[in-house]
């Protein structure tokens, strides 16, 4: 069985889907691995590093895609790349299936079994495969560094000969994986942290990291779907959230938002009027900016100053830490590879497996995921 790795072509993408550690393990299990030349350059991995791990180097992406039985990627392929994939191959990647109808249709036309890393169910046996959580950990750490760099204030309390400087106040909106990592990181920098989430269970997690917790409590089955992801709520509900957040945000030096809903626009939680009430020199980092943003004034891919507040709209945050983001993502993919190919010699798309069926988008020439089938018409 031949596993293919190509260079990521998305602008600004620095991650890669396999690293020497995971390639070595695949080779030891009996797989062959083919890597496009230069694929690891942005992650500081050379062709020679891959060769030492047991991979072979190919001159271009087309030669990798046309030969490989299994293709591992970070980002969704282009339609051109899909058309080069060997018919009937398996693809494991982030696919953005709700917003990529042409790619999904092309994958079905090539009879590719496409497994989407975004759609992996949040169940115990899938934890090692859950790349959304892994990349959220990376992003939750990095956004704090972005916020601290943009903020004109110290994070910790400082006692100096010129007097004492009080600690910065941070507000983290959303206590999922990214939010928890942001709490832990900014707390280590010395800030006083308040966290907000609609799920009562998130309160204990936030408090365990030293944050004060604020909530608009919602029953568990209303706040989350069966896959462990946030549900879309009503406009009245989001208005209540805004009313609660307003008083906390206006006193914050740093606000980090993480609220996302799979397949939907991110909920609007910070209005322009709320930004106007914030302290000049404070910072908002909108981690949901690629899905429309939690802040009304955030702009994807831009850092803007509005009403004296710096609003950071950094996209693809995990890619800014390519070494460890690639390592962790490659480990997630390896766990998935071991699930679909336990013997390293052939692949088994087991339609009775909860992890596989939950993340399988196309198979045998059809779009098979019910939610994606409805979205891609």
Distance CA 90, CA 97 (A): 16
- Give pLDDT tens digits for 40-95: 999 999 999 999 999 999 999 999 999 999 999 999 999 999 999 999 999 999 99
**Fold designation for 139-320:** Rossmann fold (3.40.50)
Is residue 92 within 8 Å of residue 113, measured between CB atoms? no
Active site residues: 122, 127, 130, 133, 229
| pLDDT of the residue at 232 | 60
Confidence of residue 190 (pLDDT cuts 50, 70, 90): very high
Residue 170 host element (H or E): strand 169-173
Higher pLDDT, 216 or 250: 250
| pLDDT of the residue at 238 | 76
Q: From residue 293, how far is each of 192, 224, 266 by CA, in Å?
A: 25, 20, 6
- 222 C-beta neighbours (distance < 10 Å), count: 12
The CATH architecture of the domain made up of 2-119+321-367 is 3-Layer(aba) Sandwich (3.40)
- Give pLDDT tens digits for 338-377: 999 999 999 999 999 999 999 999 999 999 999 998 888 7
pLDDT at 223 exceeding the cut of 90: no
* HEC readout, the chain: CEEEECCCCCCCCCCCCCCHHHHHHHHHCCCEEEEECCCCHHHCCCHHHHHHHCCEEECCHHHHHHHCCEEECCCCCCHHHHHHCCCCCEEEECCCHHHCHHHHHHHHHCCCEEEEHHHCCCCHHHCCCCHHHHHHHHHHHHHHHHHHHHCCCCCCCEEECCEEECCCEEEEECCCHHHHHHHHHHHHCCCEEEEECCCHHHHHHHHHCCCEEECCCCCHHHHECCCCCECCCCHHHHHHHHHHHHHHHCCCCEEEECCCCCCCCCCCCECHHHHHCCCCCCEEEECCHHHCCCECCCCCCCEEEECCEEEECCCCHHHHCHHHHHHHHHHHHHHHHHHHCCCCCCCCCCCCCHHHHHHEEEECCEECCHHHHHHCC
Question: Which residues 6+ apart lie within 8 Å of 196 measured at CB?
Answer: 171, 172, 173, 174, 175, 213, 214, 215, 241, 244, 245, 248
Domain with CATH 3.40.50.720 in the chain: 2-119+321-367, 139-320
Question: Which residues 6+ apart lie within 8 Å of 263 measured at CB?
Answer: 98, 371, 375
Which single residue is written with the structure tokens 């997630």? 332
Taking residues 175-195, report their average pLDDT: 97
């Amino acid at each position: 069985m031949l596993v293919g790795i190509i260079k990521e072509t998305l602008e600004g993408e620095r991650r890669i889907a396999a690293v020497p550690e995971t390639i070595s393990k695949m080779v030891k299990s009996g797989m062959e691995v083919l890597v496009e030349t230069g694929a690891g350059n942005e992650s500081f991995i050379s062709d020679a590093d891959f060769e030492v791990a047991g991979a072979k180097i190919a001159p271009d992406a087309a030669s990798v895609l046309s030969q490989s039985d299994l293709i591992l990627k970070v980002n969704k392929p282009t339609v051109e790349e899909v058309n080069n994939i060997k018919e009937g191959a398996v693809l494991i990647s982030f696919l953005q299936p709700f917003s990529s109808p042409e790619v999904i249709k092309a994958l079905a036309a090539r009879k590719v079994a496409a497994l989407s890393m975004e759609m992996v169910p949040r169940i115990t046996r899938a934890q090692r495969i859950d790349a959304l959580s892994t990349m959220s950990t990376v992003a939750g750490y990095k956004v704090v560094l972005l916020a601290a760099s943009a903020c004109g204030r110290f994070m910790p309390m400082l006692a100096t000969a010129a007097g004492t400087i009080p600690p910065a106040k941070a507000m983290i909106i959303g206590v999922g994986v990214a939010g928890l990592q942001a709490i832990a990181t900014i707390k280590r920098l010395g800030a006083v942290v308040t966290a907000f989430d609609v799920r009562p269970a998130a309160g204990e997690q936030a408090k365990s990291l030293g944050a004060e917790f604020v909530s608009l409590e919602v029953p568990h089955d209303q706040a989350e779907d069966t896959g462990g992801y946030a549900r879309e709520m009503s406009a009245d509900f989001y208005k209540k959230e805004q009313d609660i957040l307003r008083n906390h945000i206006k006193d914050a030096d740093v606000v980090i938002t993480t609220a996302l809903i799979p397949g939907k626009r991110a909920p609007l939680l910070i209005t322009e009027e709320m930004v106007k009430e914030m302290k000049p020199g404070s910072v908002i980092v909108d981690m949901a900016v690629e899905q429309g943003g939690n802040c009304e004034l955030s702009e994807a891919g831009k850092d803007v100053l509005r009403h004296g507040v710096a609003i950071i709209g950094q996209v693809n945050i995990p890619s800014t830490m390519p070494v460890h983001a690639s390592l962790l993502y490659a480990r997630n993919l390896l766990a998935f590879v071991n699930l679909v190919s336990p013997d390293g010699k052939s692949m088994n798309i087991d339609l009775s497996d909860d992890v596989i069926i939950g993340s399988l988008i196309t198979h045998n020439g059809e779009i098979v995921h019910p939610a994606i089938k409805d979205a891609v018409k």
